Amino acid sequence: MKKIQILGTGCPKCKMLMENAEKAVKELGIQAEISKVDKIQDIVKMGVMMTPAIAIDGQVKSCGKVLSSDDIKKLLS
């Protein structure tokens, strides 16, 4: 099962990235655990300086922009 983390403090862009990740998982029909990382210390610990960011299986894949569900699907495939 894929582990997807959305890193951000809860801004509208972070929420949109979370929705796009959920949509991508649903469209791919895969099992994934999607969680939110919203504590600044935890975000910085992962090496992220700009949010929103997305990490898949512990690896940061994108920072500072809202990926579309299609972009996220490419990262998951």
Which residues are known to be catalytic?
11, 14
Q: Write out the two tokens for 4.
A: 């997807």
Q: Write out the two tokens for 62.
A: 């994108």
Determine the residue type at 7: L
Which element (helix H / strand E) includes 60?
strand 59-63
